[in-house]
Amino acid sequence: MHDATALADAIARHAPHDGMLPTAIPGLTLIRTSAPTLPMPVVYEPSVCLVAQGRKRALLGTTAFDYMPGTHLLASVGLPIVGSVTEASPQRPYLSLQLEIDVHELGELALRHVPTAEAPAAPTGLTLGTTPRELLDASVRLVSLLDAPDDIDALAPLTVREMLYRLLSGPEGHILRHMARADSRLSQVARAIVWIRQRYREACRIEEAADVAAMSRSSFHQHFRAITRMSPIEFRTQLRLQEARRLMLAEAMDAASAGFAVGYGSPSQFSRDYARVFGSPPARDAQRLRLEFSSA
């Protein structure tokens, strides 16, 4: 049996510096941060994240998810999140792992292990859960395989499969079963999310996403909001604003050019939407973030 300390030790061995560090195990990323971070936009792909040390907050719309050792965050669809590490220091850095969820592997497992109770009808896209001992044990063994590279090909798939099984067997199992079913509302909305993410810069009618999901307009909007906590329009707006913020910070693009690049035809509309989501107009927000990053 292991505890979060064993997972933190295993992650620290293979994440010697800050950042998101891909590993030799497909789908496994280790994350280390030595100080609290500013809230930054990111898209969470379908995955599970386990925290070994420190704390992090993820904002989905106006809903906050705070996770720490003993908890895990499950993303069942690709969602635009604003994330920040809230507890970390050089002596005790934030340490976590992120494991992408293979839907094909998940589907095979779900067919083999039928639930004893009927699943709820409307899972959400982001869920915070308590990590069972068995899932923690498997995660320690998975990261520890990085100490024995020759064993990864043979043993990592088995350990990943065990982690998926533990999630399927736990309180969030119904969410994973919806992910595995092509005809579930979650999978239908997930297809629409992919479609929106591929076209969020375009001036296409968002109602077309309902056709991609093979749902009526009313049913699509109802289930989309239940899963993402946003309307389809709000979802597209989040994607546009997050990318515009990245362009201003990472590529030094001015506010008007960033707004145009992500699909806005009106600078004033871009500024209004940006201030509503991030709390200040785009140019002022970008300047503040640059100053905070330079002084960090």
Single out the residue of 65, 126, 127, 59 nearest to residue 279, CA to CA: 59
pLDDT at 56 over 60: yes
Higher pLDDT, 169 or 94: 94
pLDDT in tens, 101-147: 988 888 888 878 766 555 555 678 899 999 999 999 999 999 999 99
Q: Which of 49-58, 198-207, 238-247 has the lowest mean pLDDT?
A: 198-207
- What percentage of the chain reaches a pLDDT higher than 70? 95
* Cβ proximity of 143 and 151 under 8 Å: no
pLDDT of 116 reads 54
pLDDT of 115 reads 64
pLDDT of 270 reads 95
pLDDT of 205 reads 84
* Cβ proximity of 278 and 245 under 8 Å: yes
Q: Quickly state the pLDDT bin for 1 (edges 50, 70, 90).
A: very low
pLDDT in tens, 146-176: 999 999 999 999 999 999 999 998 888 888 8
Q: Which residues contact 271 (CB under 8 A, 6 or more apart)?
A: 255, 259, 281, 282
pLDDT of 203 reads 80
User: In the chain, how long is the greatest CA-to-CA distance?
Assistant: 58
* Cβ proximity of 60 and 119 under 8 Å: no
Average pLDDT, the chain: 90
* Cβ proximity of 76 and 58 under 8 Å: no
Q: The pTM is what?
A: 0.83
Buried b (16+ CB within 10 A) or exposed e, 75-109: bbbbbbbbbebbbbeeeebbbbbbbebbbeebbeb
pLDDT in tens, 175-234: 888 888 877 888 899 999 999 999 999 887 888 999 999 999 999 999 999 899 899 999
Single out the residue of 180, 195, 141, 183 nearest to residue 28, CA to CA: 141
pLDDT of 119 reads 54
Residues 75-86 have a mean pLDDT of: 91
pLDDT at 2 over 80: no
